[in-house]
Structure 1
Amino acid sequence: MSDTALLNVTVGPFAFKARLERQKAPQTCAAFLSLLPFANQAIHSRWSGEAVWVPLGEFKFGVGFENHTCHPSRGDILLYPGGHSETELLFAYGSSSFASKMGALAGNHFLTLVEGQAQLEDMGRMVLWQGAQPIRVQRI
C-alpha cells in the first residue's frame, strides 16, 4: 500500500475517504491496517467537544505515541493507545479538544479526511441526537 493510500470510512449513512498518515504515524497506521475491515459503534464524545468516539476498552494496539495531538482538526481521526484512559478512536467533526474524565489526552493522528468534509456537521449532529451509529473503516 502506498504512502497516499486511502480508506473508506462510513458512520451511519455518511461516507468519507481518509488518507493514512503513514509518514507521520507509521506504527499506528500499520497496527490499524492489520484490523481491517474495522467495524464498531461510534458515540458522541463526552468531554472532547465536536467529536465522535469509539471506545475500545483495554484493547492494546501495541503502539506508543506518534504524531499525537490534543487538538485535532476537523476531519482528523486519532487513536489513543491507552494509558490514562481506555483505548479509543476519536473522530473530530468540528472544534475539539481531546479529553477524558482523567483530563487532557493526546491521540495519534493517523487518518485525515480527504473527501466528504461537507457531511461532518450532519454526521456529528446525527450521532449526538440519534445515538450510536455503526462505523466501518475498510480498504478502497
Structure 2
Amino acid sequence: MRRILFTFENGEKLPATLLEKKAPQTCEIVWEALPFSSLVKHSRWSGREVNFEIKTTNKPKKENQTISTSIGEVIYWRDWPVDSDPEVSEVLAIYYGAEHTRSHKGDEPVNVFAQIDYDCLGLLKAVGERIWLNGMEKVRIERIED
C-alpha cells in the first residue's frame, strides 16, 4: 500500500493512501511525478476543493471517474477532450467537503486516486477554509517511504 504526504505552507501534514486497485494507472503516474511543490489555490467552481497543477510525462486514462466527490478524496483532472495535446493542464485536487465536480463547461469527470486519512479530515477542512479565505499558498507532495 503506497502512501503520499501533502505538507502545506503553515506546516500541516495530510497523509493519504493511494487507491491502487481502483485507479492503478493514475496512482503510478502521480507516484512517478513525486516529489514536487506547487501553489495550491481554492476552486472557483467545485466548492470545497483546493487544487494545484502537476506535470506528468504520461497522461493517465479515465479510471475510477466520478462527478460526485466525498470529503478527503484526492483527484486527478485534465481537459479530457484535448488529451492529445502535450501542453494540456493537469490538476490534482483535494476535497474538504462533498461536492459536484464542475467548471464553466458543466460536469467535469475526475479520477479519484487517493484518500486523505480519516483522522485528518478536521485538519483538512481547516486548511481548505484558510486557503479559501487567504488565497494561494505553497504545498509539497512527496512519497511516504516505510
TM-score of the superposed pair, with normalisation by structure 1: 0.88
Name the residue aligned to 2:127: 123
Matched, 1:35 2:39: no
More helix by share: 2
Alignment of 1:14-33 (within 5 A): 14-33=12-31
Q: How many residues align?
A: 136
Name the residue aligned to 1:46: 44
Alignment of 1:68-83 (within 5 A): 68-83=65-80
CA contact (8 A) 1:60 1:82 kept: no
- CA–CA separation in structure 2 for the residues paired with 1:61 and 1:101: 26
TM-score of the superposed pair, with normalisation by structure 2: 0.84
Name the residue aligned to 1:9: 6
Q: Percent identical across equivalent pairs?
A: 27
Q: In the alignment, residue 21 of structure 1 is paired with which amino acid?
A: L
Name the residue aligned to 1:92: 95
User: Considering only aligned residues, what root-mean-square deviation do their CA atoms show, in Å?
Assistant: 1.9
- CA–CA separation in structure 2 for the residues paired with 1:11 and 1:99: 25
Listed as ranges, the gaps of 5+ residues in structure 2 are: 83-88
Listed as ranges, the gaps of 5+ residues in structure 1 are: none
